[in-house]
Chains A and B, each alone.
Chain A
Amino acid sequence: MKLTDSDQDLVAEVEELSGENLYACFQCGKCSASCPFTDEMDELPNQLIRRVQIGDRRILQSKTPWVCASCLSCEVECPKGNDIPAIMEAVREITLRSNVDETDLRDLDTRGLPEIALVSNFRKKTG
């Protein structure tokens, strides 16, 4: 399969933002096996990586990177030493840097939430 320029852009962007080599992933699926939140995801972590490898920009609409809690379970399991949470963050950042926040402050009910939850949520879900 040949990647077009726009496909290659996605690969380059994610590699630049994450500092990872996307093609180091050989799709073993260990990351997805260790992820506690796959029930809530529309793409498994290894599927997300595969989609980025082939430059499929539809991955930017996926729920998966916003469900990822940066828990690093997958990171300690990956036999290729890939930093999967950094790849998730790169995919989130592409959206955030286009000036679209995931968290909409206007309809967020913050009552009772500790600041450690709010700060970490904003760090991950607003640009």
Chain B
Amino acid sequence: MEELLYYPGCSLKDTAIGFEESAIYASRQLGIELKEMERWNCCGTVYSLTADNLMKQLGPVRNLVHAQEEGYEKVYTLCSMCDNTLKRSNRLVKNDPEKLEKINSFMDREEDYLGEVTVKHYLELLRDELGWDAVREPVREPLKGLNVAPYYGCMLTRPKEIGLDDPHNPTVLEDFISSLGAEPVDYPYHSECCGSYNTVEKKDIVLKQAGKITSSAAAAGADLIITSCPLCHYNLDTRQSEYIRRENSSKPVPVLYITQLMAVAYGNSDVCKFDKHAIDPREALALENKALKER
């Protein structure tokens, strides 16, 4: 089995545990062992946009140093927000030797970061290194007839300098969905922000936004939505369920992490921890009927 260095980030150890466990399982079916970094810390979740304050770059850069200390040139992420933050900080210090030197002189317990680590998202691993045919290979339960809406959100494709696909017409999630045997659904809100951290203090904005995105996907025929961002997941799943209760509106659309869809297609939904979701996806995936039939 090929071993790849993996940075989980905080959510995958807690609210998004089903994302991590399904990713570990799905990767093994592809001959890959995700080796968690021995030392890592929170990336800070959002990239700092203030030009003068390097303090907020320390969190992400420390993780890059740890990858370097463990002897790896590449580190893989699953969470879109971690991916974005690590990539942007990495880009900043690679392009600005003066800032890198300042940061290095500030971190005294770690070795100096040489700027040689590359950050890759799991979707880049699937698309660019393994290829869609390899992703299709372990499919045991082709998801035929299942309509899946890709939700890119913000952090996978923006800004252009680090985005993993075209910010206007991305296709990686559509190709991912097709490779698992399901049907990608086209709808206008695949890249519109869910409201992000405003879920903490401006919940109403997020409720409305979650309602808009999910009902648009439903109207386009989606049985479920996929994402790779734990914050989008919370907003589209939990906030959608609150929106539906408040507005007495339509049928809920379950939201899955990308690797949960892989695990289902590869024949193991136990690793998905679907009981953690506000909207249970099992009915949409017809897993309940199947379990009943098998009994």
**Beyond the given A71-B154, A76-B160, A120-B81, could you list 16 further A-B residue pairs with CB under 8 A, ordered by the A residue number?**
A36-B209, A71-B158, A72-B158, A73-B193, A75-B159, A76-B158, A90-B50, A103-B200, A113-B199, A114-B15, A114-B230, A119-B42, A121-B197, A121-B198, A123-B56, A124-B46
A70 partner residues in chain B, CB cutoff 8 A: 46, 49, 154, 196
Q: Are the C-beta atoms of B167 and A120 separated by less than 8 Å?
A: no
Q: A17-B50, A76-B160, A116-B230 are in contact. Are A69 and B196 (CB under 8 A)?
A: yes
B residues whose Cβ falls under 8 Å from a Cβ of A: 10-11, 14-15, 42, 44-46, 48-52, 56, 79, 81, 154, 158-160, 167-168, 191-193, 195-202, 205, 209, 230-231, 234, 238
Q: Are the C-beta atoms of A16 and B52 separated by less than 8 Å?
A: yes
B195 partner residues in chain A, CB cutoff 8 A: 37, 69
A residues whose Cβ falls under 8 Å from a Cβ of B: 16-19, 36-37, 40, 67, 69-73, 75-76, 83, 85-86, 88-90, 93, 103, 108, 110, 112-121, 123-125
Secondary structure class of chain B's binding surface, majority of residues: loop
User: Nearest-CB distance from A46 to chain B (Å)?
Assistant: 18
Q: A17-B50, A89-B50 are in contact. Are A108 and B45 (CB under 8 A)?
A: no
A67 partner residues in chain B, CB cutoff 8 A: 198, 202, 205
Number of A-B contacts (CB under 8 A): 116
Q: Are the C-beta atoms of A103 and B209 separated by less than 8 Å?
A: no
